[in-house]
Structure 1
Amino acid sequence: MTTASLDKPTFIALLDELIPARNKSLPGAGSLGIGDAIETRLGEAIPLVASGLATLDEKAKGLGHSGFLNLPKSERASIVGEAAEAVPGLVEVLMYHAYGLYYANPRVVAALGIKADPPFPGGYELEQGDLGLLDSVRQREKLYREV
């Protein structure tokens, strides 16, 4: 069990930077409210993310701001890039969890116009392709031996 905790406002701002809002119907990942779910899934990676959030604040302070939250939005992407280099794995671990939760969120699914049903039993219509394209594969010598 980890004892590190995340600076929530900075965490939410970072999520919004990683998956930004596209329009009013597609908010950023932080604004969508999936931060707590992501934090729950981070598990042993919480200290890594906490270190990354502290690095964001340090780098922002180096530019004369009081922290990442006070940076103009136009400067945030470069600071996130610097923090990603300073804390390897930060962006990758967050994106792994954020993408799954973001694109499974009913609000995002509806805004994207995606059918939320599983492909079975209703199924999706598949366009019939030209199976002749497989002829060269079928004519190849077997790469295995009969048993």
Structure 2
Amino acid sequence: MDELPLAKSTLCAVLNELIPGRGPSLPGAGDLGLGDYVEARLADARAGVANALTDLDARASALGGEHGFASLAGETRSGLLREVASAHPGFLENLVFPLYSGYYQHPEVVEALGLESRPPYPKGYSLELGDLGLLDSVRDRPRLYRETD
């Protein structure tokens, strides 16, 4: 069984709609080239996403987008994405988790957020000290469980 190919430029434009860039230091998800990362993690949802991307390009062409969805202006693009998302249940939902995990692990994003690009072990991360007095009301409550033998 042949798989439908994903429209790469359309996928890139959709990813940029979901996580847009905020200046040169924090690029959009599509600009980081996360399309392949997301595509590799779609598994059974791949065919549905491919159909939705094809529909997105077809509707964009009907609206005058010469090169499909990627060539549309911002507001038109957002509205069309919402329209296609409601016509293809699960389309955006299947993209969001792999997109967010790939985006917030990307070294450029980690650096732009002011974090060190390293695993938490062995150095760990510093945490702010909290006000443990906020737990006093919880500690003062009676037990909500029975003791066992």
1:9 CA drift (Å) = 1.2
1:112–1:51 distance in 2 versus 1, CA, 3 Å: same
Check conservation: 1:9, 1:69, Cα contact below 8 A: yes
Amino acid at match of 1:145: R
What does residue 14 of structure 1 align with?
14
- Corresponding position of 1:70: 71
Letter in 2 for 1:85: S
Query: In 1, Cα distance between the equivalents of 2:40 and 2:138?
Result: 46
User: TM-score when scaled to structure 1?
Assistant: 0.88
In the other structure, the counterpart of 1:136 is 137
The residue number in structure 2 matching 1:145 is 146
**Distance verdict in 2 for CA 1:108–1:132, change over 3 Å:** closer
| Secondary structure at 2:23 match in 1 | coil
Identity percentage of aligned residues: 51
In structure 2, distance between residues paired with 1:98 and 1:20:
12
Q: Does 1:59 align with 2:59?
A: yes
2:82 equivalent in structure 1: 81
Which letter does structure 2 place at the counterpart of 1:73? G
Counterpart in the other structure of 1:100: 101
For residue 2 of structure 1, report the CA deviation from its aligned partner.
6.8
List gaps (5 residues or longer) in structure 2: none
Q: Which of 95-104 and 61-70 deviates more?
A: 61-70
Structure with higher helix content: 1
Residue equivalent to 1:47: 47
In structure 2, distance between residues paired with 1:110 and 1:127: 20
Given the superposition, is the C-alpha separation of residues 134 and 39 from structure 1 closer, same or farther in structure 2, using an over 3 Å criterion? same
Q: Secondary structure at the match of 1:33?
A: coil
Aligned equivalents of 1:35, 1:111: Cα separation in 2: 20
- Is this contact kept in 2: 1:48–1:90, CA < 8 A? yes
Root-mean-square deviation (Å): 1.9
TM-score under structure 2 length normalisation: 0.86
Helix, strand or coil: the match of 1:50?
Answer: helix
* Cα distance in 1 for residues equivalent to 2:104 and 2:138: 36
User: What's the secondary structure of 2:31's corresponding residue?
Assistant: helix
Residue segments in structure 1 that go unaligned for 5+ positions in a row: none
